[in-house]
Amino acid sequence: MKITTLKRNGLAALVVGERLVEIAPALQRHGLLASPPPLTLLDLLADWERNLALLVSLQERLEIDEPGETFVETLLDAPIRRPGKMLFAAANYHKHVRQFERVEGEAHTNVRRAGVIQTHPYLFLKLPESVIGPTDSIMLPAEFERVDWELELGVIIGREGRHIQAEQAMEYVAGFVVINDITARDYNVREDWPTLRTDWFIAKSFDTFCPVGPFFVPKEFVANYRDLTARLWLNGQLYQEFSPADMVYSVEEQMEWASRVTTLRPGDVLATGSGPGNGLATGRWLRPGDVLEAEITGLGRQKTPVFAERPVEGKHL
């Protein structure tokens, strides 16, 4: 099952062969709901267990010639246009961390070594306003020269929970999406604030810095997230290829840690970290005219052009 959001109206649709079938009218057409209101993915997630059962029944009834729109990638928006909380994991792949160590010439102690947990997951916030669709353009902010990519497996929460145990964490997961965590490295470390140093707000949350989608796939249709393969190309050259099996902290462990602090709610997003091969590790930064393509097995493929923001006179960071 693949669920997407139509750019023209923000409503949820099923992908059926080469067609996009808007969910609410299809439920009514097939007698599954008498007169449903227009439904977004967030609406569906609000009562996910019930609505998933309806979607499974609907998918079983749909035919290839079901009324709908012809599938065109540019018709798709991010599956969730404005998520709730967006939690992102840093330094969460062994190969990624080792690549950083080679580049930076220092050891990172925030990983597991010889089976010993030396710390907890590192999570940070990214603004929902940074979300764009899977074929929308990424804007390089004026005056920034070190803008980077990080392909990530995204987890969408489908059930409210606090103090979730890792063993039960997947019960709170609705499904998975592709996420690209675009990062401005120029201000990731603030030389003008030596006592505070890092600035994740500037580094992570510019408008357009979070391509999401094209599809939301319920977890019931993903056999094992650890077996997925993530790949990212820059101008046709493969830069990232990795598996979630290389995570330092699993999806379940990240959810346990996050839910100690905050209640996870339907529509919240957890981006679970990136593998090796990003710009900081390779020395290749994004430039105007570049095209990023990113995919994760079964979750679809993004294609995002890159352009430069026009500087605003007299405005500087």
Q: What is the pTM of this model?
A: 0.92
Q: Which residue, 57, 77, 97, sits at the end of a domain?
A: 77
CATH number at residue 105: 3.90.850.10
Q: Which two tokens stand for residue 183?
A: 């990062």
Domain C-terminal end among 77, 104, 128 = 77
| Number of domains comprising the chain | 2
| Domain shared by 183 and 256, yes or no | yes
The answer to whether residue 317 sits within a structural domain is no
Per-residue pLDDT, averaged over 185-194, amounts to: 75
* CB atoms near residue 160 (< 10 Å): 12
101-123: pLDDT as tens digits:
665 554 444 454 444 455 789 99
Q: Which of 186, 126, 176, 133 is nearest to 152 (CA)?
A: 176
What would the pLDDT profile of 125-151 be if each residue is shown by its tens digit? 999 999 999 999 999 999 889 999 999
End residue of a domain, out of 77, 101, 134: 77
* 135 vs 208: CA distance, rounded Å: 11
Q: Does the structure show a pLDDT above 60 at 314? A: no
DSSP string, 67-127: SSEEP-GGGEE-SSSS-S-EEEEES-BHHHHHHHHHHHTS---SS-BTTB--S--EEEE--
Check residue 102 and give its pLDDT.
63
* Domain enclosing residue 159, as ranges: 86-308
Residue 316 lies in a domain: no
**Does position 268 have pLDDT exceeding 90, yes or no?**
yes
Whether residues 26 and 114 fall in one domain: no
Local confidence band at 184 (pLDDT 50, 70, 90 cut-offs): very high
Q: Is residue 314 part of a domain?
A: no
Q: Does one domain contain both 226 and 137?
A: yes
Question: 169 and 289 share a domain?
Answer: yes
Residues 239/54, Cβ–Cβ less than 8 Å: no
Q: What would the pLDDT profile of 225-249 be if each residue is shown by its tens digit?
A: 999 999 999 999 999 999 999 999 9
CB atoms near residue 310 (< 10 Å): 8
Name, in order, each residue with C-beta under 8 angstroms of 195's C-beta and a sequence gap of 6 or more.
Answer: none
Distance (Å, whole) CA 14 – CA 242: 28
Task: Note the pLDDT tens digit of each residue in 6-44.
Answer: 999 999 999 998 899 999 999 999 999 988 899 999 999
285-301 confidence digits (pLDDT tens): 999 999 999 999 999 99
Per-residue pLDDT at 116: 46
**For position 88, what pLDDT does the model report?**
98
Answer yes or no: are the C-beta atoms of 266 and 278 closer than 8 Å.
no
Provide the mean pLDDT of the chain. Answer: 91
Are residues 183 and 161 part of one domain? yes
98 and 21 together in one domain: no
